[in-house]
């Protein structure tokens, strides 16, 4: 797919850790409302690609463009602000704050963006309801199941209505039923809000929730849609 009209696009990314190249000329693009699965064997550079696209890791060379801004030209403060306002993250393990209740966890990114507590918690409750875990809103992460915790993490990632959602093995720690429910709720919510989703996974059944897939191998990206045309 050409980057035309894309929300996030990368061109010629290189990144090495010491002598080991993790990305070796990787290109990428995703459109608003599109779910792209990033596949590839372990150590192929999938997670590095996600971290570079999200502005967490700076590439050695190459560019990442978000809308009309160039991520690679921003300083740490600017990228960090962008991650807080425009990007959402879901990882394999929820990474919820253990001292906060579920509703407080979901409200946290809203609070960091300046939303008042009452309003932030109202919106957080709406997201918990949407993710079918409204009943555990007052509990702490240590008191809920893995599947419930992951739904809370998805609610938290979506609460700020991010334009790009980065998900790295979001169902990796869940059983099949919970994993599928999380994927359904995550992709439905993302499509409803026109968020683009970058979904790193090694599971084919999870990748099947995407609109298209790319394969990362030896730090290079193969776009299967383009490959088949």
Partner 1 sequence: MSIGHTLLGLLESGPRHGYDLKRAFDEHFGQDRPLHYGQVYSTMSRLLKNGLVEVDGVEAGAGPERKRYAITDAGVTDVAQWLSRPEKPEPYLQSTLYTKVVLALMTERNAAELLDTQRAEHLRLMRGLTERKRKGDLADQLICDHALFHLEADLRWLELTAARLDRLAETVRG
Q: Note the residues at the interface with partner 1 (CB under 8 A).
A: 39, 41, 184, 202-205, 207-210, 213, 215, 222, 224, 227-228
C-alpha–C-alpha distance, residues 102 and 22, integer Å: 36
Min dist. Cβ of residue 155 to partner 1 (A) = 20
When the beta carbons of 58 and 220 are compared against partner 1, the nearer one is 220
When the beta carbons of 112 and 224 are compared against partner 1, the nearer one is 224
Min dist. Cβ of residue 180 to partner 1 (A) = 8
Min dist. Cβ of residue 183 to partner 1 (A) = 9
Contacts of 63 (CB under 8 A, 6+ apart): 10, 11, 12, 13, 70, 71, 72
When the beta carbons of 69 and 205 are compared against partner 1, the nearer one is 205
C-alpha–C-alpha distance, residues 59 and 9, integer Å: 14
Min dist. Cβ of residue 162 to partner 1 (A) = 23
* Integer-rounded Cα radius of gyration of the chain: 17
By the 8 A CB rule, do 12 and 61 touch? yes
Beta strands in 19-130 (DSSP E): 20-30, 35-39, 61-66, 69-70, 87-90
C-alpha–C-alpha distance, residues 91 and 157, integer Å: 10
By the 8 A CB rule, do 59 and 14 touch? yes
Degrees to nearest 5, angle at CA 32 with 31 and 33: 110
When the beta carbons of 14 and 217 are compared against partner 1, the nearer one is 217
Min dist. Cβ of residue 185 to partner 1 (A) = 11
When the beta carbons of 113 and 176 are compared against partner 1, the nearer one is 176
C-alpha–C-alpha distance, residues 102 and 153, integer Å: 9
When the beta carbons of 5 and 41 are compared against partner 1, the nearer one is 41
Min dist. Cβ of residue 221 to partner 1 (A) = 12
């Amino acid at each position: 797919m050409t980057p035309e009209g894309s929300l996030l696009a990368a061109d010629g990314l290189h990144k090495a850790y010491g002598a080991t190249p993790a990305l070796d000329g990787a290109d990428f693009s995703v459109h608003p409302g599109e779910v792209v699965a990033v596949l590839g064997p372990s150590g192929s550079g999938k997670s590095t690609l996600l971290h570079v696209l999200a502005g967490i890791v700076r590439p050695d060379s190459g560019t990442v463009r978000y809308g009309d801004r160039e991520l690679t030209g921003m300083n740490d403060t600017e990228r960090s602000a962008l991650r807080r306002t425009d990007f959402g993250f879901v990882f394999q393990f929820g990474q919820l704050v253990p001292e906060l209740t579920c509703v407080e966890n979901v409200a946290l990114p809203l609070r960091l963006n300046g939303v008042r507590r009452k309003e932030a918690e109202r919106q957080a409750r709406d997201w918990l309801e949407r993710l079918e875990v409204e009943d555990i809103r007052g509990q702490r992460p240590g008191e809920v199941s893995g599947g419930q915790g992951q739904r809370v993490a998805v609610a938290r990632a979506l609460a700020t209505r991010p334009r790009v959602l980065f998900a790295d093995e979001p169902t990796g720690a869940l059983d099949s039923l919970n994993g599928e429910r999380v994927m359904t709720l995550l992709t439905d919510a993302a499509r409803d809000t026109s968020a683009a989703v970058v979904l790193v996974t090694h599971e084919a059944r999870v990748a099947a929730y995407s609109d298209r897939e790319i394969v990362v191998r030896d730090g290079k990206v193969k776009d299967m849609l383009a490959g088949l045309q």
